Structure 1
């Protein structure tokens, strides 16, 4: 559990951020959500991982969970375009139990876990119930989801298709699914937005990304506060 953000420190650091960036961060936070999260299971193409992360940022999905069973996770800087630094990345070590540990953490946060599949006999993405927070799991290009993931997810869903091709590229699938879910969320009465405390935490993290030598500014502030006691 993260400690609450020191609001005095937050405001102090804000003094080094331009008004335009402060306004932009506030606007972005107003559309951020943790009601939908994304899981990338054992991705090995860095361009796909990067494209999915960029899509998450664009649709306001804050949390990305990354499992590594057979492959190490990497991003392509030319594709991700800095999106990863605005997301909360939850990475699980490369080992056989990587997906299992990820699912355990998601369930502890009350997520319903949904796996993606090209199988048209499963439920359509348009039928997904959004009342409970959803974690959408995407598998690799060749194998799709692991056998463990297929067995352990709460539901498998597919994107309806009408051509000869069996499936979309994984990054396209992520974009289509997130577009559908986020738009439905915003039209619903479900409380999908971040809490004020979550907004403070992310604002503090993002200010540290923006402000040059933010570590020194924070150190100076804490020393000043300590000297006043």
Structure 2
């Protein structure tokens, strides 16, 4: 039924848009994902969301221990329509719930740190599904998260300043990992079912009154089945 609904909605999408969506889906990945731990500057988190879209990373996970995240539309520039955002409820265990969810999805948890004695991001093994976790700019990831991750990584630095802006760090990390991933033999692309699920979701967003088109189709199907 999903395939039929996609065909129906696609009639209301321009050929150029259909081709662009198919091209983007062919470059999307869930092999890498990004986690932001209780980030309190919404503009930084929104910049990371936009970066995920630019690098073809489909999912962004945000824990909310003390701070709610609200999308800044002036920064995301529409990226929130295309990236799947997972927000975990406010509370003391928000980060733990996020990490447990990712472990259930078979992700290896990798925390970022300014500690230059940790693994360089350039040397991180990316053969496994990997979740890269970023913390706040002042404190980094929490101690609890550090204890839960499988590995800590850093971006090599050569100046006096101890760390990059968080959104800059995310962009640098994704640029390196996505480049290496695309040059590897790893099966990093979405499955056909994942592509269809996202296409259906995206078409519903861009087609006016998509709910009405779906409702009419379901009604017609019901009448045919009864007949």
CA distance in 2, matches of 1:142, 1:160: 18
In the aligned structure 2, how far is the partner of 1:159 from the partner of 1:32? Answer: 24
User: What are the equivalent positions in structure 2 for 1:1-229 lying under 5 Å apart?
Assistant: 6-229=2-225
Query: Which whole-Å CA distance do the structure 2 matches of 1:155 and 1:63 have between them?
Result: 20
Query: Would the aligned equivalents of 1:44 and 1:74 in 2 still touch at CA under 8 Å?
Result: no
Q: What is the TM-score with the length of structure 1 in the denominator?
A: 0.97
Separation (CA, whole Å) in 1 of partners of 2:218 and 2:14: 22
CA drift of 1:148 comes to: 0.7
How far off is 1:28 after superposition? 0.3
Contact 1:111-1:135 within 8 A present in 2 as well: yes
Cα deviation for residue 22 of structure 1 reads: 0.2
Unaligned runs of 5+ in 1: none
Distance in 1, matches of 2:167 and 2:121, equals 16
Which TM-score applies when normalising by structure 2?
A: 0.97
Post-superposition CA distance 1:76-112 (Å, at most 9, x none): 1111111012111111100000011111110111100
Aligned CA-pair RMSD: 0.8
Q: How far does residue 226 in structure 1 lie from its aligned partner after superposition?
A: 1.1
CA distance in structure 2 between the aligned counterparts of 1:6 and 1:77, rounded to whole angstroms: 30
Separation in 1, partners of 2:195, 2:9 = 15
- What is the alpha-carbon distance in structure 2 between the residues aligned to residue 46 and residue 102 of structure 1? 19
Question: Which structure 1 residue ranges, 4+ long, deviate > 3 Å from structure 2?
Answer: none
- Structure 2: 5+ residue stretches without partners: none
